[in-house]
Structure 1
């Protein structure tokens, strides 16, 4: 279709005012669905996040994307109908529609899905651990007093985290859950590992003592028992149950996730060992004792993948020791991550190194790209290693 075309009288002042963003197919689909009749407008909300000194990211409700400028071989013209104020436009007598050039673009913004930048939580919440020595009660009032006075620390709230952490809403909530961070009176507090292990043990002992079905535990009964017998405030116990299972708000029952509870119990034992290695057989035995007869069949080192290293107790020995080596202690930058991993071990089996890459790659395809970039596959008579 033909048009009358000319530059806008404001083109010089408007230059650089426009940006074109290329949406990946999944975002195009979200936009199209939200624009259709009856679409969910909330699902199409996009947010640009980034503090000074950080590269900006775009966040949807459940994903995070890096934003990268890509140069174009040909310029793109941004054109619109003439603004009402542009009375100087002379369309001529040909009766064709009038359009004006508002800007010329030589770059577009490209989006690539990336892992959420949750590692910043470790720094922001350092020194704010919530432990057994807190003076709490059922309504949380003493918790607030402890934060304001005895701890003498600045509040860091969920609202602060939403503003400062480069992650989508879904990813942020999942990150807080995975990092075992409590929300007490809107303030975020990572729970002490020692205290969490004790609460896990209290829960398992209570289920056994009261003969409760772990797939249908009355929330109020468990909370009351934990508060009365172990001084665990309800505001804490309910969140812990949410981390390790599903709470049905309708019938007030909790369905425990056995594997996640058993895993946390094993992590607690490993963390308590600190810098010393744990005899593998002794670790398994201690772990089984902690979770009890009903759940000890679920004990497996596979549950702790990405949190430990295993090695012979001595050269040429068949006896093995396990050492706490959490993925959370490694750098988030891929180059530094691989450097630290290969300083720890000169050679890795593929299945051993993969768990330590889960938080720097959005999927297995991206993970394999990192392996190709930073590692070299070698083969000997027995096995293939990344080295």
Structure 2
């Protein structure tokens, strides 16, 4: 049987580690075809998960091994006839999935104002940190401020809760005193309204402002719910760390922490993931950072604090373990018991 094409088939084609196959999402394919922005592979360390970043999105890569015959081939021509020749086989492919990305803050110094730097680690600039972080540039910016990230003399720093609270208080008071519009704020106007304070640089003001607004570009709109939430968590830390207090007393203390004349609505659900209610109408601070890092021991501690939990109040403490994004009601059933009380789902220890 004759054909216009000749095909050369070779046995024992060597397996290659110089090439990798990758499954492309529609977003990545569009970036490649349009050629308007670079694709960057990132991994903070040699043992870290590799990610692929566009300017605004992050994709995690996972190697999937297989036993299929997959060959790399090249087209050639001999005696006027075209043929394909294999030169390598591949036994795996990279799956691509959307990822939130990650900024490694371990070792970044803490800053509490007045040039007081504690927990000194390596000195790294923001550009260096952005380059080595497994996250896209646009996502880095918003995530960095959420992590209390800022800079001092070009060095990346993490602001302590105390300096954030102090700066936020002065900021809100200054905005109101200068009659600025909470829904149309610019960084330079806010900074200038706060007067000269060597402890509050424009970089620190930017971090605090961006942490409490609803949008990522000027003009900024202050998110009053975020401000109220921050002061509520601070109130929990200061007054409810060692023992629970009555809710009525807590609301009084919460209100008194806020800047004078700042319009606000106090709502306990804003504080979910930061408190337990061991007794009716009493509230106590719970630090997620101080809880065990595995779900079973974490639940033991939480049930010791509070014998039964409303699922909506328990979920923020355990959702980080739900890697497969299972419905949280079904996920918690692996480790605890549930029952329904009207529309509420109550979780208790097994």
Following superposition of structure 1 onto structure 2, how do residues 75-86 of structure 1 map, counting pairs within 5 Å? 75-82=69-76
386 and 274 in structure 1: CA distance in 2 versus 1, 3 angstrom threshold: closer
C-alpha deviations, 1:129-169, integer Å up to 9, x for none?
A: 221322xxxxxxxxxxx77xx99764122233234332232
More deviation in 46-55 or 169-178? 46-55
What are the Cα deviations for residues 246-292 of structure 1, in whole angstroms up to 9, with x where unaligned? 5875xxx6532212222222233333348424523333222212324
Correspondence list, 1:106-185, <5 A: 106-118=91-103, 120-121=104-105, 123-125=106-108, 128-134=109-115, 154-185=122-153
Alpha carbons 2:275, 2:285 under 8 Å: kept: yes
1:59 and 2:15 correspond: no
Q: Which residue of 2 aligns with 1:70?
A: 64
Partners of 2:151 and 2:157 within 8 A in 1: yes
Corresponding residue for residue 87 of structure 2: 102
The aligned residue for residue 375 of structure 1 is 335
Map of 1:193 onto structure 2: 161
Aligned partner of 2:242 in structure 1 is 276
The answer as to 2:328 corresponding to 1:343 is no
Which residue number in structure 2 is paired with residue 305 of structure 1? 272
CA pair 337-301 structure 1, distance change in 2 beyond 3 A: farther
Deviation at 1:197, TM superposition (A): 0.9
Q: Is the 8 A contact 2:149 2:156 kept in 1?
A: yes
1:291-370 matches, within 5 Å, as: 291-292=258-259, 294-312=261-279, 318-326=280-288, 328-329=289-290, 336-346=293-303, 348-359=309-320, 365-366=325-326, 368=328
How far apart are the structure 2 equivalents of 1:170 and 1:51?
A: 21
* Structure 1 Cα separation of the partners of residues 127 and 330 of structure 2: 34
Unaligned runs of 5+ in 1: 83-88, 135-145, 313-317
What is the distance in 2 between the residues matched to 1:151 and 1:381?
47
Q: Decide whether the 8 Å contact of 2:241 with 2:284 is kept in 1.
A: no
> Aligned partners of 2:27 and 2:84: how far apart in 1?
29
Q: CA deviation at 1:97?
A: 1.1
**Alignment partner, residue 85 of structure 1:** none
Alignment partner, residue 31 of structure 1: 29
1:205-233 per-position Cα deviation (integer Å, ceiling 9, x unaligned):
23344444323456545423423378533
Aligned match of 2:257: 290
Q: Offset of 1:189 from its aligned partner?
A: 0.9
What is the distance in 1 between the residues matched to 2:35 and 2:81? Answer: 38
User: Contact conserved, 1:241 with 1:247, CA < 8 A, in 2?
Assistant: no
Shift of 1:100: 0.9
Cα pair distance change 1:201/1:2, threshold 3 Å = farther
Displacement of 1:342 after TM fit? 0.8
Could you say which residue in structure 2 is the equivalent of 1:86?
A: none
Tell me the secondary structure at the aligned position of residue 277 of structure 2. Answer: strand
Contact 2:56–2:137, Cα closer than 8 Å, also in 1: yes
- Shift in CA distance, 228/198, structure 1 to aligned 2, threshold 3 Å: same
* CA RMSD in angstroms, aligned pairs only: 3.7
Measured after TM superposition, the shift of residue 353 of structure 1 is 2.6
* Deviation by residue 1:164-202 (Cα, 9 ceiling, x = unmatched): 332232332222111111123332111121121112222
Q: What is the distance in 2 between the residues matched to 1:55 and 1:234?
A: 35
Change (3 A) 1:227 1:174: same
1:385 pairs with 2:326: no
1:265 to 202, 220, 231: 231
TM-score by length of 2: 0.79
Give secondary structure in 2 for the equivalent of 1:270.
helix
The change in CA–CA distance for 1:3 and 1:132 in structure 2 (over 3 A counts) is same
1:64/1:113 contact within 8 Å kept: yes
Asked if the contact 2:322/2:331 (under 8 Å) is kept, the reply is no
Gaps of 5+ in 2: none
Could you say what secondary structure the match of 1:124 adopts? coil
Once the two structures are superposed, the pairs formed by residues 202-217 of structure 1 within 5 Å of their partners are: 202-217=170-185
- 8 Å contact kept, 2:107–2:120: no
Question: SS of 1:5's equivalent?
Answer: coil
